[in-house]
Structure 1
Amino acid sequence: MTDTTSSRRVAVVTGGARGIGLAIGQWFLAHGHQVALLDNDRATLEATGRTLAQPDRVLTVNCDVSDPAQVDAAAHAVVARFGRVDALVNNAGVAVFKRVAETSFADWRAVLGTNLDGAFLCTQAFGALMVQAGGGAVVNVASISGLRASTLRVAYGTSKAALIHLTKQYAVELGNAGVRVNVIAPGPVETEMAKLVHSVAIRSDYYDAIPLGRYGSVEEMANTVGFLCSDAASFINGQVIAVDGGFDAAGVGLPTLRRGLPSERAAEAAHA
C-alpha cells in the first residue's frame, strides 16, 4: 500500500464525531486509510475534524443517516473526494430508555429510524459502490441489547436485534459480490455518555455480571471493527461478535454462583 491518495483504502464511519465512532475512524487513519466521518451533530463533527487535523485524509460530512436524500448526498460527496469506498461502519445510533408503556410511537420511530433504517440506507448506498468495485467490508455496530432483553430498551434492543439480522441478510447477498458484512455487539463501554447515565449502582451491577469485571474501551471496539474490515478477516462473513467481556456468555451467570471460581480465589488470596 502506497501513500498516494488514489491507492489508499477509504473507510466510511457513521456516527463518527465522538465515542466509538471516532475511535474507529482513528483506527482506520492509523492503518493507512482515508476516512469519511458522517454525523448529524455538525458542531461536534467540525470540531473533530479540526482536532484530527488531517484534511487531506479526513472528510467530514454532516448527515442524518435516517434521511435517504442525505445519505445519497453523502455517498456522492465521498466518491467525489476519494473516488472509492472499501469499508463502511454503521455506527450511528440513538437510544430512548423508557419503560414499554411509556415509549411513544415517536420514540420508537426515532430509534429505529437511525439504528435500523440508517444502516439499511447506508449499506444500500455505500455497499453498491463496493459491489461495483468488486469487494469491500461492512461492519454494523449493534449492542448486547440486541442479544439479551433488558428493561427500558424496547425500542433500542429491538432495533439492535433487527440490525443483527439485517447484517445476515446483507452478508448472504453481498457476499456473492465479494462484500463481507459482519456485526459487533458491544457490552458496556467507557464512553462519555456511559459516564453520564450509568450510576454507581448500575456500574456495580455490570461489574458483577461481566466475567472480566470491567467496561470495555472504545479502542477495544475499534480494534474489533478494524480486524473485521481487514484482509485478516477475509473469510468471516455474516457473523455477530459480542465484544462484551463475556457478558452474553455468562447468561444468568449469577455473581454469587461465580464466587469461588479460580479467579475469585486468587483475588481472595492476594488480599489475605
Structure 2
Amino acid sequence: MSEHSATAGVLGRRVAVVFGATGWIGRAICHELVRADASIVLVGRDANRLAALQRELGGGDRVLSTVADVTSQLEVDDAREAAITRFGHVDLLVVSSGVITGSAFGDGIPADWADMIDVNLRGLLHASQTFAEPLLQRADSGSPADIVLIGAVSTDVRAPRFAVFNALSAAIKQLARALRHEYGPRGMRVHIIEPAFAVDQSGERRNAAAPGHDLRRARAASAVQPDTIAAVVTLAAALPRGVNLAEVLLLPTETA
C-alpha cells in the first residue's frame, strides 16, 4: 500500500478553497487535498508562488489559483466569485493564513500586533463569513460542508514571548466554537486544528517569523509537521456528514 493510498479518492467531487495556500502549512494541505481527489482553489497574495504551486499540483481542470489578500474584503469576495464561477459550488473552506511575531510584551511593536490581528483574526473573519453562504447552501442540500481553521496551541506558559499571538489563537478557538453552535444545526461542520510549536530551552518558540531564527532550522524543529496537519484536514472533511471532528490538538508524542 502506498503512503497516500488511504486518502486517494476520499474527497472526490468536493470543492475546497484554501487561504494561505502557498504557506508552509498551506502547501501541504493543498497537496493532500489534490491527492484525495478534491478540486481546489488556491488563494494567496503572491501570483508567482501561486503559479509555482499550481504547477507542483499538476495543474489541470481541478486546480484554480486566485490572487487575494485575506485582509481585503473585496479580494475575498472576488475569490468566492472565482471559485463558484469555475466549479459551481464550494463545500470545504480551509483558512491557514497566519503571521507570527515574537517578543517580550514590553518590547512589542504595535505595528507587528496590528499585522497579526489583521491576518490571523480579521482575515479569518472575512474568509469565514464570505464563504459561509455557499457552504450553508451545500449543507442545506444534504451535502457535506466544512470550515477548517488552522489555529495553534495557545496555552503554553513556556513561551511568554508570544503573548499577542497566543491571545489571537485563543480568540480563533472561541470563534470556532461559536460558529460550530451557530452552523451545526444546519449541518455545516466547523473544525479547528491546533498544532504545537517547538519550544527551545530558553522558552522561545521556534518559528519562521521569530527574529534570530533560521527559517529552515525552525521548520525542521517544529513539533508537528505540515503533512500531519494536512492529513487531519482530509480526515475531518472525509468523515460522515453527521460527525464533526471539532477540535484537534496536535502535540509531539514525547512531550504530550
TM-score norm. by structure 2 comes to 0.81
Point out the more displaced range, 159-168 or 46-55: 46-55
Q: Which residue of 2 aligns with 1:118?
A: 123
Q: Runs of 5+ in structure 1 lacking a partner? A: 204-213, 251-272
**In the TM superposition, what whole-angstrom CA distance separates every residue of 1:8-30 from its partner, at most 9, and x where no partner exists?**
21011111113211111111111
Tell me the percent identity: 26
Cα displacement string for residues 49-98 of structure 1 (whole angstroms, at most 9, x for unaligned residues): 12222231111111111111111111111111111111111111011112
Deviation at 1:232, TM superposition (A): 4.2
**Would you say the 8 A contact 1:24–1:222 is kept in 2?**
yes
Q: 4+ residue stretches of structure 1 with deviation over 3 A?
A: 191-195, 197-200
User: For 2:241 and 2:215, how far apart are their aligned partners in 1?
Assistant: 35
Structure 1 residues 171 and 77, CA gap change in structure 2 (3 angstroms): same
1:9 and 1:33 in contact (8 A); partners too: yes
Amino acid corresponding to residue 187 of structure 2 in structure 1: G
Q: 1:23 to 1:234 in 2, by over 3 A?
A: farther
Give 1:171-182 correspondences, 5 Å limit. Answer: 171-182=180-191
CA-atom RMSD, angstroms?
2.6
Measure the CA separation in 2 of the matches of 1:234 and 1:45.
Answer: 34
Q: Distance in 2 between matches of 1:21 and 1:169?
A: 24
Which structure: larger Rg? 1
Q: How many residues align?
A: 230
Structure 1 residue 183: Cα displacement: 0.4
Of the three residues 166, 170, 177, the one matched with 1:161 is 170
Deviations 1:129-168, CA, capped at 9 Å, x for gaps: 1112224011100011x23242221221111111111100
- Which of 214, 219, 226 aligns to 1:196? It is 214
Moved more, 80-89 or 46-55: 46-55
2:169 partner amino acid: K
Amino acid at match of 2:50: L
Partner residue in 2 for 1:15: 20
The one of 200, 220, 243 aligned to 2:250: 243
Q: Distance in 2 between matches of 1:52 and 1:192?
A: 26
Matched, 1:221 2:232: no
2:62 equivalent to 1:57? yes
CA shift in 2, pair 1:85/1:52, >3 Å: same
Higher helix share: 1
Name the SS for the 1:121 alignment partner. Answer: helix
Distance (whole Å) between structure 1 residues aligned to residue 29 and residue 223 of structure 2: 17
Task: Structure 2: give runs of 5+ residues left out of the alignment.
Answer: 1-8, 199-205
Q: Which amino acid aligns with 1:170?
A: L
Counterpart CA distance in 1 for 2:46 and 2:59 is 20
TM-score, normalised via structure 1 length: 0.77
Q: How many angstroms apart in 2 are the aligned matches of 1:23 and 1:196?
A: 21
Which amino acid counterpart does residue 196 of structure 1 have in structure 2? D
